[in-house]
């Protein structure tokens, strides 16, 4: 962060910023050869920002990044993106797909989940204000641009938020290995919330009671009873998308 700005880095993440909110870009810093950054240069100039080419020592000093951050020599500083709260859930009244994350604390998983959410066209991702990973520049980099394409809500009380979404017509599905039906056996509602639990722990009991149905991914064996939370989310979203598309054709 620099002042009231936030940093986004990596070619794909930066490209997503120029696609979704070019007016928010305040500064573009590039390291390496100009010919490596042709697309970024064009996008920056279309947004009215002249890129700054700097030597690698200055790049690291200006951004605070190291080679381990996989920045690809591309950084933008932008106005802070809007993160919504529980009082903004009415924005989703006409939405069709929301992902609610119950205490996802691993930044790697959160980034991958945001990527999956964007890929499958989710309207929003709900995160807990406490006991949850933060939406940091690192998470945005892991999401490879996905963080820019879905609205993010940070809520204090997930159970209450699910109740609010249900009032808007959503049906709430909890992803749980103990679910009575598999994803393929489930007919998903036009307005659906997919609730995913924390790594290892799964859905909390309170959250489970707020789900209209518990669904599971078929598979598993002794010693490998469950999947990584991000992988499970991507599989669930793929099945939900296929099921809802098929239902729409009937």
**Are 125 and 19 in a shared domain?**
no
CA distance 204 to 206: 5
**Are 75 and 91 in a shared domain?**
no
**Are 227 and 155 in a shared domain?**
yes
pLDDT at 247: 54
Tokens of 210: 């707020």
**Are 158 and 213 in a shared domain?**
yes
Burial, 246: exposed, middle or buried (Cβ in 10 Å; 0-12, 13-18, 19+)? exposed
Given 60, 79, 98, which residue is the final one in a domain?
79
Residues 6+ apart with CB under 8 A from 222: none
Contact 137, 77 (CB under 8 A): no
pLDDT at 212: 95
The 10s digit of each residue's pLDDT in 36-82 is 999 999 999 999 999 999 999 999 999 999 989 999 999 999 999 99
Given 79, 113, 140, which residue is the final one in a domain?
79
pLDDT at 248: 56
CA distance 56 to 66: 10
| Residues of the chain predicted below pLDDT 70 | 1-3, 244-250
**Are 44 and 114 in a shared domain?**
no
In Å, what is the CA distance from 66 to each residue of 2, 59, 134, 149, 213? 17, 9, 20, 26, 45
**Are 136 and 100 in a shared domain?**
yes
CA distance 187 to 236: 13
**Are 136 and 191 in a shared domain?**
yes
**Are 38 and 99 in a shared domain?**
no
CATH number of domain containing 224: 3.40.1280.10
Question: Domains in the chain: how many in total?
Answer: 2
**Are 64 and 128 in a shared domain?**
no
Residues 6+ apart with CB under 8 A from 97: 120, 121, 122, 123, 191, 192, 193, 194, 237, 240
**Are 53 and 145 in a shared domain?**
no
Domain that holds residue 50: 5-79
Contact 214, 180 (CB under 8 A): yes
CB atoms within 10 A of CB 235: 16
DSSP 94: T
Given 46, 79, 112, which residue is the final one in a domain?
79
**73 backbone φψ class: left, alpha, beta (φ>0; ψ -120 to 50):** left
């Amino acid at each position: 962060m620099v002042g009231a700005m936030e940093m986004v880095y990596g070619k794909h993440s930066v490209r997503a910023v120029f696609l979704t909110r070019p007016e928010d870009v305040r500064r573009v810093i590039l390291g390496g050869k100009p010919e490596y950054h042709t697309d970024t240069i064009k996008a920056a100039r279309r947004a009215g920002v002249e890129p700054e080419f700097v030597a690698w020592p200055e790049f690291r000093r200006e951004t605070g990044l190291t080679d381990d951050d996989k920045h690809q020599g591309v950084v933008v500083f932008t106005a802070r993106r809007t993160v919504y709260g529980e009082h903004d859930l009415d924005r989703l009244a006409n939405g069709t797909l929301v992902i609610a994350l119950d205490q996802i604390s691993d930044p790697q998983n959160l980034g991958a989940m945001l990527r999956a959410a964007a890929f499958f066209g989710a309207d929003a991702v709900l995160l807990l204000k406490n006991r949850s990973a933060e939406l940091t520049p690192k998470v945005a980099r892991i999401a490879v641009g996905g963080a820019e394409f879905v609205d993010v809500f940070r809520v204090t009380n997930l159970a209450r938020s699910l109740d609010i979404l249900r009032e808007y017509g959503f049906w709430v599905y909890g992803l749980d290995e103990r679910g009575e039906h598999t994803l393929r056996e489930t007919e998903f509602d036009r307005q659906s919330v997919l609730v995913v639990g924390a790594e290892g722990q799964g859905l909390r009991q309170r959250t489970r009671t707020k789900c209209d149905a518990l669904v599971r991914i078929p598979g598993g064996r002794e010693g490998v009873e469950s999947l990584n939370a991000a992988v499970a989310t991507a599989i669930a979203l793929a099945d939900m998308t296929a099921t809802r598309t098929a239902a729409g054709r009937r």
